[in-house]
Structure 1
Amino acid sequence: MTPAPEDQAAALLAELTVAEKIAFLHQHQPAVDRLGLAKFHTGCEALHGVAWIGKATVYPQAVGLGATWDRDLLRRVGAAVSTEVRAFKQDTANAFQLSAQTEKFPMVSLNVWAPVVNPLRDPRWGRNEEGYSEDAYATSELATAYCTGLRGEHPTVWRTTPVLKHFLAYNTETDRDLVDIQVPERVLREYELEAFRGPIEAGVAAGVMPGYNLTNGVPNHVHPLINDVLHAWDPELAICSDAQAPSNLVDREKFFATHAESHAAALKAGVDSYTDNSADSQPTIERFTEALDRGLITEADVDAAVRRVLLMRARSGEFAPEDDPYAGIRADVIDCAQHRELSREAALASVVLLKNEGGALPLAEPGRVAVIGHLGSRVMTDWYSGTLPYEVSVADGLRAEFPSAAVDVADGADLVVLRDAGGIGEFGPFRHQDWGTSVQCPIPVHTLQSVDNGRYLTLTGEGDTEIEAAAATPDGWFVKELWEFETVSGNAAADLAHGELLLRSNAPHSRKYARVERATGRLVADAETPEQATRFRLETVASGLREAAELAAAADRVVLVLGNDPHINGRETVDRDSLALPPGQERLLHAVVAANPGTVLVVVSSYPYAIDWAAENVPAIVWSSHAGQELGTAIAQVLSGRHNPSGRLPQTWYSGDAELPGREDYDVIGSGWTYRYSRRAHVYPFGHGLTYATFDYSTPAVAVREILPGSLTLSAEVSVANTSGTAGHEVVQLYVRREGGEARRALVGFDRIRLEPGESRRIAFDVPRERFAQWSPERSERFLPPGEYVFEFARSSEDAAAVARVELS
């Protein structure tokens, strides 16, 4: 009989020497031939598909999966993703051949760093795309579902071992490894920790990754809540550090005087695996060896950490391969037909119909469709995406959906050339996009896409000092395709319209100015100062606004696609500085709607925008996250009516007039963050989404039950009927509020149901007291204030369809 994973880990631990155990504290664990242990490392990115190792099925961004409100769908997506991870691990050569990986095969781990369970408190957060919802309960439920799929259905062997990210109060990229987030205890208990609790208590999370920031004065990587809360919930959780965070405790945060002290503190705090100095484990080994020699840690401390990581490995079946039910998975599952269909299903379920006035949608068969906007003919990936195996853009999807229609495209970008003001040369023509500003860069950043080869102007060559149109798209950890236009006179508007400018790389590792090399006429990026740089004139050859307006005026229907590039001004390390569309996109919106008032606006983005003007002036608006390879299919089938839209917003879309709290303000209650406490103006509320069907709700019933002494549960029931002639999905949302309470309402239940025309169904929720009780810092426990509680079955957080009241003492 095969020993249990816990016994396998204990037996191996007993055979390791002290030096071997210390080496196992690093992310990259060495092989131990005498014990038959292979090399191992923690971490394979699997947020919405297998990432960073070649072509694999790409699903909607996590925020798009959150918009489905569909636990079963997220479980199936998690299962598909973990199956492809297994394929890369177990059938490596074939997997990388199928995925068109040309570099040396990277090592694949069955330990996956996903999902992200930080609630989306601030929509300006650069990593907004990685979370599921601004609501902690919804985040917890969807994360539990995704982890269940990643874990697999076998009682003891896990298909992959998920690690939740990022503990604790991590919602800002600005100085993220230095910022100290102050979190009131009640907010900590009711909001932040609740998102982690669900998957951990469900037994489907193998580990947790701390965030870079400090919380209440303490770096997360030495925070007592790791042991006091996480290990109290599950003593076996493996805690994997974020990249370079252990060294940051000394190098950046200055919280400890030496690395031996910092690593000792982290080990005692509960951190087990150290992602530090990339694959070089020697510094970590030296630091822990010194800590052990100085008596800062004991061998028992090392044993506790190594045992948890060995258990995580054992759970994946590594040490008993003969009993691994997933060992037969091979490369043919990567981007297989079933996974393509699942990607399509997820993309369709994630599309949110925000507005549909006067029957603007669905579209009738048009004679001529104009697809306008940079995103209309592109499918974007993000930092945690895999390589797309194929892509269907919005224009592609509309061509397939309306085969008899003529589909014309225009990106709305100006056609420009860069002329050397000194008369040495001319560069271009380029399609020019102004992407606006961010917290990290208050100067607008621009992309220049060559008309000749479709490539973006980027840094190339040794030291990234040459400038060529060579990049397929803005991408990479250092985005080298972004350029700042610095003015010469100080009058930005005049300089960009008529005068001279300096071209400067926005890449953090460069920040050099461009100059024309006189001997060769080439563009190079090696000028350190403005004085050394070449002065250019940016001359417009053709107006993108004029081209777009003319195309819109001549079309029967216009689909305007606006949104973000996930590698620009809103991504890991970069926070947005506002909710506004980039100014160039706002101008394009006004110009196109003026030319054709029947325009349909499609927003494809990683986060909400303040689209006040569009909400007033555009008849139909649709939102989708960057939904992966089937984005265009999903958008087109929603616009045509083949698919009845069913997504619901996972975040509040605040108005441009709303004054949001500071990015570091984590007092969700006191500062009024999220739908629960915010009374700020918004364009669309949390949970909002329209369909082409209509649904009626019966009078609800709420009953109080005490299953066990002191264990209060409320049962809430309602009947929902499809009163239209169209089949569709309804997302039934249950909110509770206490009359006179601080919270406006709180989500306590949700279910996504499909109803045929005329069909009705009774929906019931069991709501435990803890789900809407509040935390008392004085009593260190949850309590239920007495009063009248209102239960709202709702279509959104602002649209109650059926209400019941109950007095609770």
Structure 2
Amino acid sequence: MRNKRIKGVVTLALMCFATIGFSQSQDYKFPFQNPNLTFEQRVDDLVSRMTLEEKVAQMMNKAPAIERLGIPAYDWWNEVLHGVARSPFNVTVYPQAIAMAATWNTPSLKTMADYSATEGRAIYEKSVETGKEGQRYIGLTYWSPNVNIFRDPRWGRGQETYGEDPFLTSMLGKAFVQGLQGDDPKYLKSAACAKHYAVHSGPEKLRHVFDVKPSNYDLWNTYLPAFKELIVNTDVAGVMCAYNAFEGQPCCGSDPLMVDILRNQWEFNGYVTSDCWAIDDFFKNHKTHADAQHASADAVMHGTDIDCGTAAYLALVDAVKSKLITEKQIDVSIKRLFMVRFRLGMFDPASMVKYANTPISVLESDPHKAQSLKMARESIVLLKNTNNVLPLKKKNIRKIAVVGPNADNALAVLGNYNGTPSQVETALMGIKEKVGKDVEVVYEKGVNFTDGNILQAEDISKFCSFEGKQGFKAEYFNSNTFTGTPVLTRMENQLDNFWQEGEQITESLKAYNFSARYTTDFTADRTDEITFEIAADDSFQFFVDGKMQIGSFGNSSGELKSTKLNVVKGTTYRLEVKYRQKEGKASVKLAAGKYVKTDFKAVANRLKDADAIIYVGGISPQLEGEEMPVNYPGFDGGDRTSILLPEAQTEFMKALKDTGKPVVFVMMTGSAIAIPWESENIPAIINAWYGGQSAGTAIADVLFGDYNPAGRLPVTFYKSDSDLPSFTDYSMDNRTYRYFKGEALYPFGFGLSYTSFKYNKLKVSKKVVEGKVLPISVQVTNTGQIDGDEVVQLYISFPNSNIKTPIRALKGFQRISLKKGESKNVQFVLNPEDLSIISESGKAILPLGNFNISVGGGQTENVVKSIVSVTKGNNK
């Protein structure tokens, strides 16, 4: 039994619990320690014993211990977007959220969330056992899922969402929360959190200052449905309020969002955390409040229980004294917070909590790894397959070329907000393993994401030493200012480090808010001009003989930078890299060599004897993501300034096509990419997203026909930038498939297969009475020669409505498996809410008259249709 769960309570009877059990007469120092009482009774007792200062401290994400009451420290901040993120342990990493959305498979997503919660429980239990329960990224309160609507493909964080459709997002989010929180009637397996509430989807550079004012129609029909589903129907434990302002008030202090809708209409009684540093935005960026006192008091009175990332809430003590807020109002938040911790079983013996004895051996277990591979396969979307180029036939291939910036990029497949697995399968690795030793596999990167200037890197480590020892002297500091004595000094053979945020570098140092200095003496082996290149996820400085060459400690540099140095053979140069990290991923790498501009035609000529060319490109989480210090052509601050595939990649593929050999474009991305030339000229295209740790295996399985692809797009792939409204415009007019009036390159819900499907026998009543459900069934038959999955999609539209409605709207979907020649009957039930539209006044309306129903493998292609009439019900 782990007494750390209830520190300070060491009684003989409690220590003997495992053998004699509890009795109603058990002695406890405090009533809140008695598991026989209700959670409400225990929370009320605990809060009644706390001082104002203790209460306020508990409202920070890093809540300190209260020793006198036996309450251990706890950090609320943890992430589990697609597997446990930023853990000190190796964990299973599933495909990125947008990729999981492309599976259109709610049971699969629920299983993934359940497995992730299992791994999270194991990490937490191990941390409690070793006295580390107060550290970040080991807790059971996960700030996932992200159910914002991916309204614009330029948003770099869209990869974290389930796409552009409210219904698909709602159903996938519901499955995720159910899997994560478990099925125990008393205890939570872990606590999910719906974010970012609300109306939040970029631009990243403006997220701390912009004020959104959507119409009521867009608010209720697009931005709120997924939050409502999770809060009202799924009992999600937490909500994270967003950085931006809503109608003039910061979201975490919004009257309509936080009070009228969340707490009153939806009756949410769970906890709310601010997005990290959002409370500071009240008075520093939005300028709606005078100072931390006023901002904190207002946020708490609006129901924001946790201040993440800042110390603003510490001002609540003075705010109470100044009568800006009462202690009773603070008690409301404190009770909500401790209710979650009690529901997680944190103050009860492990033998009472269903999930508390999860062993560390579950991490990366075989079922978990199998699920990651399963979802990676399910997520792949076949966009084009002219003349059945795919699947490739192994018996016809003796040489295959694998090229492109993502061909062997292990970082790309992991997405963002990710953990670290023991092994990552890149596309190159998966293809090599698939074809075996009898097939020659040739690899050339050929092009970076945005240009063809490739550093021909050399191994300089053999020319680097410090004080007679080969490599770099590495010094690590427990702050980002290089002050004090290093907590770790060691020799490192190369300067090439990568850590997840919070990952353990050494026992006394985590990859968060730290600094490092790397020093070596480089002796030139020739007289030449050498380019030194540094890539880092935060700010750095590079010195040669004490003179700074590149980098800065102002704003985070967070990108690739290089400098040229003329060296003389036999001369020694002192190289020093100073690296400073605050938050996020931590990486720093020094490379040296010569930049060579790729001659695409020359590369293509070298590959022309290959039987097939696999180009693995697209973009990467190294370019798109959360508030990133990236500034390459087409990318800015984590977002994209253009949705076109970077021109350099298109030019490379043009040269590859000229070989006359079949070219397959494997595209990795977290968002929609416009590929007009590729769509017209490349015979086979698959979208592989950021597929997780088994991405390479899944890609190879699809390329060679060992898995029949059935992923479907959760976002619209537009033709060009001109299809998009202003990024800062939050109106849904001409956005997403529901309102876009143009012609998409690849529409929402689209995806090809190696087989074919037929729909018939649609059964649906011609009339539905207002307020009644509408059953629907359809027969689906696999008419091809290969077993495969199909995603059955149901859409409705109101072409003659006198109120604003979507062009069409998804209202049902099921992923089914069919053997060749097999038929299945698929059933749906539409309820009155499915048939309702929120009017401009914000009221739910069921349009009377006719509406259209279509069921099939997409929006308009291969569908069966029916017209249904809505009639008034009998009010008697």
The reply to whether TM is greater than 0.5 is yes
Q: How does 1:61-460 map to 2 (within 5 A)?
A: 61-92=96-127, 108-172=138-202, 173-224=204-255, 225-232=257-264, 233-277=266-310, 284-285=313-314, 287-321=315-349, 322-365=351-394, 366-380=397-411, 381-403=414-436, 404-413=438-447, 433=448, 435=450, 450-452=457-459
Deviations 1:4-39 (A, max 9, x none): 433332232222222221221111222223332211
Q: How does 1:631-646 map to 2 (within 5 A)?
A: 631-646=695-710
In structure 2, what is the equivalent of residue 746 of structure 1? 809
Cα deviation for residue 771 of structure 1 reads: 2.0
- Distance in structure 2 (CA, Å) of the matches to 1:645 and 1:598: 19
SS at match of 1:209: strand
Cα deviation for residue 800 of structure 1 reads: 4.6
In structure 1, what is the equivalent of residue 74 of structure 2? 40
Cα 1:801–1:46, aligned 2, differ >3 Å: closer, same or farther?
same
Cα deviation for residue 299 of structure 1 reads: 1.5
| Amino acid in structure 1 at the alignment position of 2:321 | D
Instruction: Determine which of 767, 770, 776 is the counterpart of 2:839.
Output: 776
Of stretches 216-225 and 144-153 in structure 1, the one that deviates more from structure 2 is 216-225
SS at match of 1:335: coil
TM (norm. structure 1) is: 0.85
Q: Tell me if the contact between 2:238 and 2:270 (Cα under 8 Å) persists in the aligned partners.
A: yes
Q: Tell me if the contact between 1:505 and 1:513 (Cα under 8 Å) persists in the aligned partners.
A: no
Cα 1:113–1:516, aligned 2, differ >3 Å: closer, same or farther?
same
SS at match of 1:806: strand
In structure 2, what is the equivalent of residue 692 of structure 1? 754
Of stretches 508-517 and 542-551 in structure 1, the one that deviates more from structure 2 is 508-517
Deviations 1:50-78 (A, max 9, x none): 11123211000000000000000000000
In structure 2, what is the equivalent of residue 621 of structure 1? 685
Name stretches of at least 5 consecutive residues in structure 1 with no aligned partner: 414-432, 437-443, 484-501, 527-536
In structure 1, what is the equivalent of residue 735 of structure 2? 673
In structure 2, what is the equivalent of residue 417 of structure 1? none
- Distance in structure 1 (CA, Å) of the matches to 2:814 and 2:773: 18
- Distance in structure 1 (CA, Å) of the matches to 2:750 and 2:116: 28
Cα deviation for residue 214 of structure 1 reads: 1.2
SS at match of 2:639: coil
Cα deviation for residue 667 of structure 1 reads: 0.8
| Amino acid in structure 2 at the alignment position of 1:687 | G
| Amino acid in structure 1 at the alignment position of 2:459 | D
Q: Tell me if the contact between 2:87 and 2:137 (Cα under 8 Å) persists in the aligned partners.
A: no
Cα deviation for residue 136 of structure 1 reads: 0.7
SS at match of 1:481: strand
| Amino acid in structure 1 at the alignment position of 2:318 | E
Cα 1:205–1:564, aligned 2, differ >3 Å: closer, same or farther?
same
Cα deviation for residue 158 of structure 1 reads: 0.7
Cα deviation for residue 312 of structure 1 reads: 0.9
- Distance in structure 1 (CA, Å) of the matches to 2:42 and 2:456: 56
Of stretches 768-777 and 368-377 in structure 1, the one that deviates more from structure 2 is 768-777
SS at match of 1:53: coil
Identity rate of aligned residues, in percent?
Answer: 31
Cα deviation for residue 549 of structure 1 reads: 0.7
Instruction: Determine which of 619, 624, 634 is the counterpart of 1:564.
Output: 619
Cα 1:88–1:726, aligned 2, differ >3 Å: closer, same or farther?
same
Cα deviation for residue 95 of structure 1 reads: 10
Cα 1:69–1:6, aligned 2, differ >3 Å: closer, same or farther?
farther
Cα deviation for residue 472 of structure 1 reads: 5.2
SS at match of 1:240: strand
Cα 1:627–1:107, aligned 2, differ >3 Å: closer, same or farther?
closer
In structure 1, what is the equivalent of residue 865 of structure 2? 803
Q: Tell me if the contact between 2:177 and 2:234 (Cα under 8 Å) persists in the aligned partners.
A: no
- Distance in structure 2 (CA, Å) of the matches to 1:93 and 1:301: 32
In structure 2, what is the equivalent of residue 425 of structure 1? none
Cα deviation for residue 106 of structure 1 reads: 5.1
| Amino acid in structure 1 at the alignment position of 2:710 | S
Q: Tell me if the contact between 1:435 and 1:569 (Cα under 8 Å) persists in the aligned partners.
A: no
Are residue 552 (structure 1) and residue 607 (structure 2) matched? yes
Deviations 1:508-551 (A, max 9, x none): 3359995869997567799xxxxxxxxxx997546352453134
Cα deviation for residue 451 of structure 1 reads: 3.6
| Amino acid in structure 2 at the alignment position of 1:372 | V
Cα 1:123–1:473, aligned 2, differ >3 Å: closer, same or farther?
farther
In structure 1, what is the equivalent of residue 13 of structure 2? none
Name stretches of at least 5 consecutive residues in structure 2 with no aligned partner: 1-34, 463-471, 483-492, 502-511, 514-532, 538-548, 579-591, 629-637, 872-876
Instruction: Determine which of 49, 53, 74 is the counterpart of 1:15.
Output: 49
Cα deviation for residue 704 of structure 1 reads: 7.0
Q: Tell me if the contact between 1:604 and 1:625 (Cα under 8 Å) persists in the aligned partners.
A: yes
Q: Tell me if the contact between 1:658 and 1:681 (Cα under 8 Å) persists in the aligned partners.
A: no
How many positions carry a matched residue from both structures?
Answer: 736
- Distance in structure 2 (CA, Å) of the matches to 1:94 and 1:36: 16
SS at match of 1:208: strand
Cα 1:454–1:221, aligned 2, differ >3 Å: closer, same or farther?
farther
- Distance in structure 1 (CA, Å) of the matches to 2:217 and 2:239: 22
Q: Tell me if the contact between 1:676 and 1:744 (Cα under 8 Å) persists in the aligned partners.
A: yes
- Distance in structure 2 (CA, Å) of the matches to 1:663 and 1:776: 25
SS at match of 1:757: coil
- Distance in structure 1 (CA, Å) of the matches to 2:332 and 2:564: 57
SS at match of 1:261: helix
Cα deviation for residue 450 of structure 1 reads: 2.9
Cα 1:800–1:119, aligned 2, differ >3 Å: closer, same or farther?
farther
- Distance in structure 2 (CA, Å) of the matches to 1:726 and 1:272: 54
- Distance in structure 2 (CA, Å) of the matches to 1:667 and 1:188: 9
Cα deviation for residue 387 of structure 1 reads: 1.2
Cα deviation for residue 795 of structure 1 reads: 1.4
Q: Tell me if the contact between 1:56 and 1:335 (Cα under 8 Å) persists in the aligned partners.
A: yes
Q: Tell me if the contact between 1:87 and 1:95 (Cα under 8 Å) persists in the aligned partners.
A: no
Q: Provide the alpha-carbon RMSD of the alignment.
A: 3.3
Cα deviation for residue 747 of structure 1 reads: 0.3
Cα 1:162–1:223, aligned 2, differ >3 Å: closer, same or farther?
same
| Amino acid in structure 1 at the alignment position of 2:75 | H
SS at match of 2:142: strand
Instruction: Determine which of 590, 600, 611 is the counterpart of 2:675.
Output: 611
Cα 1:740–1:28, aligned 2, differ >3 Å: closer, same or farther?
same
Q: Tell me if the contact between 1:126 and 1:575 (Cα under 8 Å) persists in the aligned partners.
A: yes
- Distance in structure 2 (CA, Å) of the matches to 1:752 and 1:516: 58
Cα deviation for residue 474 of structure 1 reads: 11
Cα 1:82–1:539, aligned 2, differ >3 Å: closer, same or farther?
closer
Q: Tell me if the contact between 1:793 and 1:801 (Cα under 8 Å) persists in the aligned partners.
A: yes
Cα deviation for residue 471 of structure 1 reads: 3.4
In structure 2, what is the equivalent of residue 49 of structure 1? 83
Cα deviation for residue 598 of structure 1 reads: 1.1
In structure 1, what is the equivalent of residue 496 of structure 2? 471
Cα deviation for residue 209 of structure 1 reads: 0.5
In structure 1, what is the equivalent of residue 853 of structure 2? 791
Deviations 1:189-208 (A, max 9, x none): 11111011112123341011
Cα 1:383–1:723, aligned 2, differ >3 Å: closer, same or farther?
closer
- Distance in structure 1 (CA, Å) of the matches to 2:751 and 2:398: 29
TM (norm. structure 2) is: 0.79
